Amino acid sequence: LKLRSAAEGFLKRMSTMGVTTVEGKSGYGLDRETELLQLKVMRSLNNTEHKRVDIVSTFLGAHALPEEYAGRSDEYIDFLIREMLPLVRDGELAECCDVFCEQGVFSIEQSRRLLQAAKEHGFLLKLHADEIVSVELNWQPNWEHCLPITSCTLPMPASVQWPMPEW
């Protein structure tokens, strides 16, 4: 109830600024219950009769490695693939799946495994990479989430303006 109330306040404020659509991400609980709760609150807000802002939900269970999986990141990715992706998909809780592919978080291979499984479940794919350390991916991500970086190791599509225009 507290999470929903806070989210309603943020959405109301955003709507007064002309925002019509936002991306909502899980990834701030890193356990089954909290991840599902975050996504269920987003779904509930999106299904409200008088909603002010559309929410596009993204499952970001691979935002960081939970303490209980310290040193066992492959096992955590397996947990996300085996248990969380089916729960999120069957509950229609998210449209997209995202992973944080960075040195010290999730490797390129782990990210690839998770996103391949997410694709097989019908999720749209997103990728957080190159935010902290330059990563040589050699595969084409969704360019929707771009932050300024000093050196880009990915081929940049012509449709992406870089540096990003000033607002």
What pLDDT was estimated at residue 103? 86
Residue 98 near residue 128 (C-beta atoms within 8 A)? yes
Residue 68 near residue 62 (C-beta atoms within 8 A)? no
Q: 141: cis peptide before it, omega within 30°? A: no
- Strand-pair partners of 62: 99
Q: What proportion of the chain, given as a percentage, has pLDDT over 90?
A: 69
Cβ-based neighbours of 88, under 8 Å, separated by 6 or more: 35, 36, 39, 59, 94, 97
Main-chain phi, psi angles of 61, to 5 degrees: -60, -25
Q: Which of 20-29, 57-66, 122-131 has the lowest mean pLDDT?
A: 122-131
The confidence band for 155, taking pLDDT boundaries of 50, 70 and 90, is: low
**Residue pLDDT, tens place only, 28-67:** 989 999 999 999 999 999 999 889 899 999 999 999 999 9
- Rounded Cα distance between 42 and 56, Å, is 8
Most confident by average pLDDT, 44-53, 78-87, 102-111, 124-133: 78-87
What pLDDT was estimated at residue 166? 45
The residue type found at 102 is E
The confidence band for 87, taking pLDDT boundaries of 50, 70 and 90, is: very high
